[in-house]
Amino acid sequence: MDPKLTPLIDSLPSTVPFVGPETLERSRNRLFTARLGANENGFGPAPSVITAMREHASDIWKYADPENFDLKQALARHLHVAPANIVVGEGVDTLLGLAVRQYVNEGTPVVTSLGAYPTFNFHVAGFGGRLVTVPYRNDREDLGALLDAVKRENAPLVYFSNPDNPMGTWWDSEEVERFIDALPPTTMLILDEAYGETAPASAKPAIDVSRSNVLRMRTFSKAFGLAGMRCGYAIGAAKQITAFDKIRNHFGMNKLTQIAALAALEDQDYLRQVVGKIIAARDRIGAIAAANGLKAIPSATNFVTIDCGQDGAFAQRILNGLIERDVFVRKPMAPGLDRCIRVSVGLDTELDIFEQQLPLALQAAKEQTEGE
């Protein structure tokens, strides 16, 4: 007799939200030459961050401060809120799981967009929630339809990412504020702003911690170039933030991560420079797409989603062709969005490879499609 899993865990499929590039490299038995698929930031963290980590490397025998005191103080100063309005965690992904746990029982309806960030869905499934999805409209999350679904289902939780992954599109703050104003007070909104730093200021509503039904989530993984360190934070009303402290892994944060995030936050000059590089790389990906007769969808993130102009099968062939040619990219999978591939920004050397390989992958995809 085996130890008995709970019926919920026993019922879950053995799927993961994303297959990592390392897994693909192992299965292909070959390394990628361009890593442009995981929305990382190949420009890397600030030199000041590396210096701070080096200086503190030998302190790593100590547990990290479980209260994340220094980082929370710095974030609070930076965001003009109180430390009590912030919870720090091991990336937005971890915070999403903790938030879902707070609002979702087995069977609870949870609203999101069809094809939106899959890690959120993964957590909802893990707590037995019932996902209610609404399709994108014109490649953007459809705020009206999300709201209708929330009201129809009386859902206690809704997820919306601004700017969005996987399309890179965004809503201006007036639209987001209108959405927030129209939400029932009993519905918690997770506003995922993982790409907030690369978005125009007009896409970020003023932070209002008097709202008890909004949790804004941000990360050091993208513009700050620290994906491997795992650091994110949520901003919200103090009562809702306290709920995270009741369940989070008290010693979950890495000590060097706290140091790296603090140093990154303090180096705003570097952040400005890197955002400039990200915007330039976005433009270059758009130009590469155009040179191949494809259309880049305008992006406010650190990636560009390219409309391949045909159906999902055609885009999948292009993606397969790129992977075969050692270029790691990903693609949206939901109906309607699946006509696209998604290319993260990277160093010029990696974009050079993408530029060389895309025409070959595209040609191969066209030949396969014609040969059908």
Ligand X SMILES: Cc1ncc(COP(=O)(O)O)c(C=O)c1O
- Contact residues toward ligand X (CB under 6 A) are 39, 91-93, 117, 161, 165, 192, 194, 219, 221, 227, 232
Q: Please report, as a single letter, which amino acid is at residue 158.
A: V
Measured from the CB atom, the residue of 17 and 359 that comes closer to ligand X is 17
Q: Strand pairing of 86-89 and 232-235?
A: antiparallel
- Helical spans, DSSP H, in the chain: 7-11, 21-28, 47-56, 69-79, 91-103, 118-126, 143-153, 173-182, 238-247, 255-266, 268-291, 312-324, 348-370
Q: How many other C-beta atoms lie within 10 A of the C-beta of residue 66?
A: 13
User: For residue 143, which phi and psi values (nearest 5 degrees)?
Assistant: -60, -40
Q: Please report, as a single letter, which amino acid is at residue 300.
A: A
What contacts 288, CB < 8 A, 6 or more positions away? 351, 354, 355, 358
Rounded least distance, CB 357 to ligand X, Å? 23
Angle, CA of 261, 235 and 161, to the nearest 5°: 90
Measured from the CB atom, the residue of 85 and 305 that comes closer to ligand X is 305
Rounded least distance, CB 291 to ligand X, Å? 27
Rounded least distance, CB 11 to ligand X, Å? 26
Measured from the CB atom, the residue of 40 and 350 that comes closer to ligand X is 40
Rounded least distance, CB 112 to ligand X, Å? 11
The residue with tokens 């000590």 is 255
Measured from the CB atom, the residue of 91 and 346 that comes closer to ligand X is 91
Distance separating alpha carbons of residues 338 and 314, to the nearest angstrom: 9
Rounded least distance, CB 4 to ligand X, Å? 32
Measured from the CB atom, the residue of 230 and 325 that comes closer to ligand X is 230
Q: Please report, as a single letter, which amino acid is at residue 371.
A: G
Q: Which SS3 state, helix, strand or coil, does residue 318 take? A: helix
Measured from the CB atom, the residue of 224 and 314 that comes closer to ligand X is 224
Distance separating alpha carbons of residues 220 and 222, to the nearest angstrom: 6
DSSP annotation of 45 reads S
Rounded least distance, CB 312 to ligand X, Å? 20
Measured from the CB atom, the residue of 219 and 357 that comes closer to ligand X is 219
Note whether 171 and 143 are within 8 A (CB).
Answer: yes
Note whether 70 and 307 are within 8 A (CB).
Answer: no
Measured from the CB atom, the residue of 89 and 156 that comes closer to ligand X is 89
DSSP annotation of 210 reads T
Rounded least distance, CB 38 to ligand X, Å? 7
Rounded least distance, CB 190 to ligand X, Å? 10
Rounded least distance, CB 229 to ligand X, Å? 9
Measured from the CB atom, the residue of 112 and 365 that comes closer to ligand X is 112
Residue nearest to ligand X (CB): 91
3-state helix, strand, coil in the chain (%, to 5): 45, 15, 40
Rounded least distance, CB 371 to ligand X, Å? 35
Measured from the CB atom, the residue of 93 and 267 that comes closer to ligand X is 93
Distance separating alpha carbons of residues 329 and 364, to the nearest angstrom: 17
Across 274-297, b (16+ Cβ under 10 Å) vs e yields: bbebbeebbebbbebbeebebebb
